[in-house]
Amino acid sequence: MTKRIVRYGLSGLFLLLWGAPAFAGGLYLYEIGSPDVGLAAAGYAARAQDASTAFSNPAGMTRLKQSQVQFGAQPMYLHVKFDSSSGTTVSGGNGDASAWIPAAGTFIVHH
């Protein structure tokens, strides 16, 4: 038991010290392959109709009558153009980061 504590403790300490800072920017996309996407996220944090409520309203899981598993997938096209200027932290030219990306979600609620 002591060896296990030491081994996991050293592993955890190594992971904490080994990590490098990440400097990034991005978008928060709530398109997670759930039925809420079709409602334009109206009532996103209040509705508790299926297992995807675990993402936006964890307390809503108590309103579900039975255990549920939900899978969802959707293609998404992001049209993102950017200009570098003196206000950005990265040097370089202008660009276009437009691309098709998959959006998906898996949700499980167990009673």
Query: Considering the domain boundaries, does residue 85 fall inside one?
Result: yes
**Count of the separate structural domains present in the chain:** 1
Residue 26 has pLDDT above 80, yes or no: no
Query: Considering the domain boundaries, does residue 62 fall inside one?
Result: yes
SS3 6: helix
Query: Considering the domain boundaries, does residue 40 fall inside one?
Result: yes
pLDDT in tens, 76-88: 888 888 777 767 6
**Percent of the chain beyond pLDDT 90?**
10
Query: Considering the domain boundaries, does residue 70 fall inside one?
Result: yes
pLDDT value of position 7: 83
pLDDT in tens, 48-73: 888 888 888 889 899 999 999 999 88
**Percent of the chain beyond pLDDT 70?**
85
**CA dist list (Å): 101 to 36, 74, 104:** 19, 9, 10
25-39: string of b/e by CB count within 10 Å (b at 16+)?
eeeeeeebbbebbee
Q: Are 35 and 49 in contact (CB under 8 A)?
A: yes
Query: Considering the domain boundaries, does residue 2 fall inside one?
Result: no
Query: Considering the domain boundaries, does residue 10 fall inside one?
Result: no
Written as six digits, the tokens of 100 are: 């098709």
Query: Considering the domain boundaries, does residue 41 fall inside one?
Result: yes
Per-residue confidence at 40, pLDDT binned at 50, 70, 90?
confident
Range of the domain at 93: 31-109
Query: Considering the domain boundaries, does residue 7 fall inside one?
Result: no
Identify the helix (H) or strand (E) that includes residue 2: helix 2-18
Query: Which segment of 3-12, 35-44, 83-92 scores lowest on mean pLDDT?
Result: 83-92
